[in-house]
């Protein structure tokens, strides 16, 4: 029998709006967003654009949509997008860039998710003639989800931006968790925005809003993306009810991301102390940690199942790795409890 739920660490998308956020939503001023007449949506778009130092923003239902719109606005049909081999835009958006926008892709490999401008640029072919695919844009992910929340080094981002501009290549930042990178590294949102033509910011992960992401860029790019949003079925009407949650999140939930980072480090350290090599606290930079089951007697799916029986939910990713993600619904007591369960389970399966 499954025990009482102690902590749901499957994703930070599981966060629920607080009573204060719900109140902001309930009293939001609304209009028709497709006519650009929803004042709360307009305020959110302007606020996020200002944060990144960009001219305009576009509110969308999901981060997958803002990524697809950003890439489609940057890359002509039949041209290519370059990204790291485990990038969310290529691994977790069900082929939308190819299926909807006619964008092909190639990848470079970074074993630990560290951004290397040289590795990305080594693949670039901006002017490749009539019989080869031209590189339209490079996508960077900050933080890198499938590498455990790895932060993209700001110096590398700046170098990539400089060198791509010289070659006529655009840059899209999948910044689903860029707020985590900002808080953990001490840089600013504007620092990140200066490194990309378009940025996608997710509001429904660590920031705690129930729905939505915002794409930012210059006015022309966002105008094109707005047209594409309608084509993709993403035009919303009285969406200010949702946008109000995003505004509340930006006002109240950015700085507190540091708590999530501390909780992820706490859990990782406890597991590593129980079974060295199973988790590496040294690479936990934000709110994501991985548990390796390679040295255990169970695979990742079974480890996650056993953890769930003990009240801790985590996500198996492949045969030998589980991911855990801390968030605002996991307080210190819950993190401590989860750490104890996962450490005990690692120790027990290591000795089996």
User: pTM value?
Assistant: 0.96
Last residue of one domain, picked from the residues 233, 252, 271: 252
pLDDT in tens, 115-144: 999 999 999 998 777 888 999 999 999 999
Phi/psi at 29 (5° precision): -75, 135
Please state, in angstroms and rounded to a whole number, the distance separating the CA atoms of residues 309 and 315. Answer: 14
71 and 159 share one domain: yes
Q: Which residues contact 321 (CB under 8 A, 6 or more apart)?
A: 290, 291, 292, 293, 300
Q: Are 83 and 122 in contact (CB under 8 A)?
A: no
pLDDT of residue 130: 81
- Coil, helix or strand for 58? strand
State how far the alpha carbon of 299 is from the alpha carbons of 259, 282, 312, 341, in Å.
30, 23, 17, 17
The reply to whether 175 and 324 lie within a common domain is no
Both 272 and 242 in one domain: the answer is no
260-287 pLDDT, tens digit per residue, is 999 999 999 999 999 999 999 999 999 9
Whether the Cβ atoms of residue 61 and residue 236 lie closer than 8 Å to each other:
yes
Specify whether 73 is located in the same domain as 132: yes
In the predicted model, is pLDDT for residue 2 greater than 80?
no
* Token pair for 58: 């576009």
Closest CA to 34 of 221, 230, 174, 166: 230
Report d(CA 326, CA 12) in Å as an integer: 6
2 lies in a domain? no
Last residue of a domain, one of 212, 232, 252: 252
Task: Say what the pLDDT of residue 127 is.
Answer: 79
Rounded to an integer, what distance in angstroms lies between the CA atom of residue 186 and that of residue 340? 31
Q: How confident is the model at residue 352 (pLDDT cuts 50, 70, 90)?
A: low
Query: What would the pLDDT profile of 26-63 be if each residue is shown by its tens digit?
Result: 999 999 999 999 999 999 999 999 999 999 999 999 99
Question: Quick one: what percent of the chain has pLDDT higher than 90?
Answer: 96
Work out the widest C-alpha separation in the chain, in whole angstroms: 63
Residues 297 and 167 in one domain: no
**How far apart are alpha carbons 153 and 250 in whole angstroms?**
23
Question: For residue 35, what are its two tokens?
Answer: 């006519």
Q: Alpha-carbon distance 73 to 48, whole Å?
A: 18
Q: Which of 211, 234, 252 is the last residue of a domain?
A: 252
* Structural domain for 316, as ranges: 7-14+256-350
Domain count of the chain? 2
Residues 203, 229 share a domain? yes
Please check the confidence at residue 3 and state whether its pLDDT lies above 90.
no
138-195 tens-digit pLDDT: 999 999 999 999 999 999 999 999 999 999 999 999 999 999 999 999 999 999 999 9
49/124 same-domain check: yes
* Averaged pLDDT, 218-237: 96
The rounded distance, in Å, linking the Cα atoms of 90 and 98 is 9
Q: Band of the pLDDT at 105, cuts 50, 70, 90?
A: very high
**Does 22 reside within a domain?**
no
Place of tokens 């993209």: 152
Q: Does the structure show a pLDDT above 70 at 1?
A: no
Angle, CA of 326, 332 and 335, to the nearest 5°:
50
Kindly state whether residue 62 falls inside one of the protein's structural domains: yes
State the chain's mean pLDDT as an integer: 96
Q: Within a domain: residue 56?
A: yes
Looking at the structure, tell me whether residues 81 and 201 fall in a common domain. yes
Residues 225-253 have a mean pLDDT of: 97
Q: What tokens were used for 177?
A: 């968790």
**Do residues 76 and 154 both lie within one domain?**
yes
Q: Identify whether 333 is part of a domain.
A: yes
Which residues lie below 8 Å from residue 114, measured CB to CB, with a gap of 6+?
147, 150, 153
The secondary element (H helix, E strand) that includes residue 112 is: none
């Amino acid at each position: 029998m499954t025990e009482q739920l102690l902590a749901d660490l499957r994703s930070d998308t599981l966060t629920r709006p607080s009573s204060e956020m719900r109140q902001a939503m309930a009293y939001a001023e609304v209009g028709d967003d497709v006519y650009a007449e929803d004042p709360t949506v307009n305020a959110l778009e302007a606020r996020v654009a200002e944060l990144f130092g960009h001219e305009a923003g576009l509110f969308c239902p999901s981060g997958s949509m803002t990524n697809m719109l950003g890439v489609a606005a940057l890359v002509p049909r039949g041209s290519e997008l370059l990204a790291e081999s485990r990038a969310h835009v290529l691994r977790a958006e069900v082929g939308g860039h190819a299926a909807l926008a006619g964008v092909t892709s190639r990848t470079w490999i970074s074993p630990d998710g560290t951004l290397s401008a040289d590795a990305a640029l080594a693949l670039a072919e901006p002017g490749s003639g009539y019989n080869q695919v031209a590189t339209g844009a490079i996508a960077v992910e900050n933080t890198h989800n499938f590498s455990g929340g790895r932060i993209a080094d700001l110096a590398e981002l700046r170098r990539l931006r400089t060198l791509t501009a010289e070659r006529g290549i655009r840059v899209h930042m999948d910044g689903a968790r860029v707020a985590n990178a900002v808080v953990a590294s001490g840089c600013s949102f504007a620092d990140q925005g200066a490194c990309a033509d378009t940025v996608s910011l997710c509001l429904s992960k660590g920031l705690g809003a129930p729905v939505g992401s915002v794409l930012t860029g210059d006015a022309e790019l966002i105008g094109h993306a707005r047209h594409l949003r309608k084509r993709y079925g993403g035009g919303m009407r009285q969406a200010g009810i949702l946008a109000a949650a995003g505004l509340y999140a930006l006002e109240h939930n950015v700085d507190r991301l540091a708590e999530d980072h501390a909780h992820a480090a706490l859990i990782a350290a406890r597991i590593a102390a129980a079974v060295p090599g199973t988790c590496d606290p040294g690479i936990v930079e934000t709110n994501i940690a991985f548990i390796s089951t390679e040295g255990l007697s169970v695979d990742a799916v079974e480890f996650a199942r056993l953890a769930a029986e003990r009240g801790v939910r985590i996500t198996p990713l492949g045969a030998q790795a589980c991911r855990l993600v801390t968030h605002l619904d996991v307080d210190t007591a819950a993190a401590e409890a989860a750490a104890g369960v996962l450490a005990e389970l690692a120790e027990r399966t290591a000795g089996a």
